[in-house]
Amino acid sequence: MKPLFFLLLLAFTSQLHAQDLIGHSPKQVRKHMLIYMQQNRYNKFLVEEKDTEIIFRLREDSVQPVNFRYEFDSKGKCFAFSTLAHCRECVESALKTTLANNKFGWTKLNDSTWISSYRHSLQMVLKKNEEEGAVHTLDIRKMLWSRTWYNDQLAGKK
């Protein structure tokens, strides 16, 4: 079990830099993900594409199942990225990896929500489900904030 857990952590660690893909086109996201799958020698994955969404379903034998979902606005730009898995510890590890990337200047608002610097205007939410076999989610979204709202959120943290 330890090797599976470790490999899944590697998958999450590498993948979570996908927050950098927010603002990119479906073609750019698809290219990034296919390179990611190739670099990690993943062959068992499905790609599901809709007008406003691309989902990569990783089903490799060496890692636990995980879905990477990208959502796109009407202009074809990625505005959200989600990681969905049954392994709570893996999603929490992905959160730690994301927070360690100082580029985005994450600030914790509560036990499950973080906001980036105003310049990046990203919100990250960790959804942990306590039921057996439940899906846990780490969701990162581009937000439309006013400077006043953003400053009020930060002021509430003091």
Burial class (CB in 10 A: 0-12, 13-18, 19+), 133: exposed
CB neighbourhood size of 98 (10 A): 24
Compute the distance between CA of residue 132 and CA of residue 122 in angstroms, rounded to an integer: 30
Q: Three-class SS string for 41-73?
A: CCCCEEEEEECCEEEEEECCCCCCCEEEEEEEC
Q: Give per-residue pLDDT as tens, 97-130.
A: 889 888 899 999 999 999 999 999 999 999 987 7
Q: Give per-residue pLDDT as tens, 62-100.
A: 888 889 999 999 999 999 999 999 888 888 888 988 898
